[in-house]
Amino acid sequence: MPEDSERLARLARAWDDAAAGYDAYFVPRFAPWVELAVSAVVEADLPDGPILVPCCGTFPEAELLVERFPDREIAGIDLSDGMVARARERTSPWPNVTAIVGDAATLDPRWSGECAAVVSVFGLQQLPDPGLVMRSWLDALGPGGRLSVVFWPEKTETDGPFALMSEVVRGRLSAGEARPDRFAEIVTGHGAALERDEFVSYPMTHADASTFFDAFTRSGPARALALAQGDAFMDSLREEFLRLAPSGEWVHHPQARLIVAHR
């Protein structure tokens, strides 16, 4: 299997494993950012055309979009069969909503220039070349179409469980190259108008550090790390994480980045 297909297959397997727990643990905690991304689209006058939701996961964006656009074609795309199976369950009441298994980094040409909106939450930061992907999502928009993307930046918080997780992982594995942070230039350089570029934080609560660690590594973004590194690595990571973490309930305020643009 070529290297890229192998990487995608591993990532898809990680999210398959995570799907049930992700829906239960992270979807309610990430809900304010989903509302933020969707509101930038539902509050606008959209042109005709479908709404695309790359990296839809279990598709929490769907209900808010259907409320406002009950008759419009709304299509979610996700790499993971497990996520898409849950997305199809969630959206089964609405015949205008579909969930498709696929790589959101290389959109099917049939979307090109056709979409009224592209909305994506917490997918972009996982893609190997997010700048290129943002350009391709802009290319999917027709005239007047809107892009609304929420993603985790390199630094989400100075303390809190996300920061501590990055610190303990970085202590064991070399950090990847810092990602270029040029999304605003990418939008304007690609012929779209930038409307919003903001960092937005909401409070998130975890019962304690071990509850967070287990959710994050079994049902969240670090599932892929756990599969790649194995049990011994994860046990020692967990031990260090819990040694450095505060005891009791853990409330933090991570910030995500919102970019809204139109054609």
Residues 5 to 34: which contact ligand SAM by CB under 6 A? Answer: 11, 15, 27, 30, 34
Q: At its nearest, how many Å lie between ligand SAM and the CB of residue 33?
A: 7
Residues 83 to 112: which contact ligand SAM by CB under 6 A? Answer: 83, 103-105
Helices (H) then strands (E): counts for the chain: 8, 9
The correct pick among 64, 80, 124, 212 for binding ligand SAM (CB under 6 A) is 80
Identity of the residue, 58 or 116, whose beta carbon is nearer to ligand SAM in the bound complex: 58
CB atoms inside a 10 Å sphere around CB 126: 18
Q: Is the CB of residue 133 less than 8 Å from the CB of residue 127? A: yes
The per-residue DSSP string of 214-242 comes to: HHHHHSSTTHHHHHHHHHHHHHHHHHHHH
Name residues whose C-beta falls within 8 Å of residue 55's C-beta, 6 or more positions apart in sequence: 77, 78, 79, 104, 120, 121, 122, 123, 124, 126
Instruction: Give the interface size with ligand SAM as a residue count (CB under 6 A).
Output: 22
* Cα separation, 249 vs 240, whole angstroms: 18
Q: At its nearest, how many Å lie between ligand SAM and the CB of residue 243?
A: 27
If binding is defined by CB under 6 A, does position 123 make contact with ligand SAM?
yes
| 220-to-14, 50, 80 alpha-carbon distances in Å | 9, 29, 13
If binding is defined by CB under 6 A, does position 130 make contact with ligand SAM?
no
Segment interacting with ligand SAM, rule: CB under 6 A, options 119-127, 178-186, 197-205, 231-239: 119-127
The correct pick among 91, 126, 217, 219 for binding ligand SAM (CB under 6 A) is 126
Identity of the residue, 9 or 184, whose beta carbon is nearer to ligand SAM in the bound complex: 9
Residues that bind ligand SAM (CB under 6 A): 11, 15, 27, 30, 34, 55-57, 60, 77-80, 83, 103-105, 121-123, 126-127
